[in-house]
Amino acid sequence: MFVTTLELEDLNDNKILIKLPRNNLFKIHNFYLLSEWSTNRSGSINTLSIYVDVEDKEKANKDIRFMIDLLNFMYNIDLTITTSYMISETKNLPMTKWVHSNETKNKNIIKINNALTLLFEMEAKKQKFIKKSLHYYSRSLKLSELELYEEAFLSVYKPIELISNNVYKKHHQKVFDDAISSVIPNLLKELFDEEFKEEGKDHDINNLIVPMLEEILTQRRKIKNTLLFLKLEREVDYCGKLVRLRNKAAAHGNSRNSNIGIYEYVNCMILSKEMITAYLLGEKSDVTQLDVKRKD
């Protein structure tokens, strides 16, 4: 059994209220969540402890980091921004009230449990893909808290790229490949009533044309097709601007001259979350949105 404890406070000393009943130990699959308040001479301390029931420290670290990424994604706040992350081994869970996730009416716990259930029911390859996307999204939240909006934009764009490439490969690549490879054969059949042969000049011309036609498949078109596939048609008009911003930011590197600020980051973040939710969880966005509040 391993545990990490996060102090739930942002960089402006605001308390992050994650809306979990205090001093209740919630069991969610192989995780346990404990939200606590305590006081000392400097004031009140708001914490979240995450326990994972595994024996290997390396696996425990991966599992806890995954849970943090998931919670950051669902709360849409970096819960670790003021915490020096570390895990420690513990033999026993705290002596407090235990509540199984199936026995509570707390909406946040129910949603966390539902999201984990969906993830754990997926094949290992897709789970790995999900965790990678959540990590990039989670990382962007920390960067935005630090007002590094260009870096945050590039990080939260990554899930959009990953999902679009995956959707293309699984649902569109064969159709596209068949279409471009049949251009010359179709011309020969339509214009000369001849069959294409894998030899001679026609073969050479086909080998030149197909690679050129492959270049019409841009990232913008992959994202556009993915948005249509995920029934996010309302976002299609934005994908061209999104790709241009990404290319501009990547080209500038660390020069900070790409003019990407919080507005551009937030727009990209919204789309990224919609795509992760729609493709990876297959549910409406409210399933992955937890109730949270900042309090000074």
Report the pLDDT averaged over residues 117-144. 91
- Of all helices (H) and strands (E), which one includes residue 225? helix 219-229
Contact 281, 118 (CB under 8 A): yes
Can you point out the beta strands (E) in the chain?
Answer: 2-7, 15-17, 24-28, 31-40, 43-52, 88-89, 97-100, 293-295
Report the pLDDT averaged over residues 110-139. 90
Domain spans of the chain?
2-121, 150-175+217-281
* 24-28 and 293-295 strand pairing: unpaired
State both tokens at 270: 């919204």
Question: For residue 255, is pLDDT > 60?
Answer: no
Neighbour tally for 79: CB within 10 Å:
23
Contact 10, 16 (CB under 8 A): yes
Q: What angle do CA 280, 235, 107 make, to 5 degrees?
A: 45
pLDDT tens column, 174-228: 887 777 787 888 888 888 887 877 778 878 888 888 888 878 778 898 999 989 8
* CA–CA dist 4, 244 (Å, integer): 40
Query: Looking up tokens 């899930």, which residue turns up?
Result: 159
Question: For residue 287, is pLDDT > 80?
Answer: no
Report the pLDDT averaged over residues 8-33. 91
DSSP one-letter string for 68-133: HHHHHHHHTS-TTTT-----EE-SS--SSEEEEGGG---HHHHHHHHHHHHHHTS-HHHHHHHHHH
* End-to-end C-alpha distance for the chain, whole angstroms: 34
Contact 288, 74 (CB under 8 A): yes
Report the pLDDT averaged over residues 267-296. 81
Residue 198's identity, in one-letter code, is E
Task: Mention every residue, 6+ apart, whose C-beta is less than 8 A from residue 71.
Answer: 18, 79, 112, 290
Question: For residue 248, is pLDDT > 90?
Answer: no
* CA–CA dist 162, 167 (Å, integer): 9
Task: Using DSSP, state whether 238 is helix, strand or coil.
Answer: helix
> What's the pLDDT at 200?
81
Q: If you average pLDDT over every residue of the chain, what do you get?
A: 87
> What's the pLDDT at 201?
82
> What's the pLDDT at 253?
61
pLDDT tens column, 73-112: 999 999 999 888 999 999 888 888 888 888 888 999 999 9
> What's the pLDDT at 42?
66
> What's the pLDDT at 41?
64
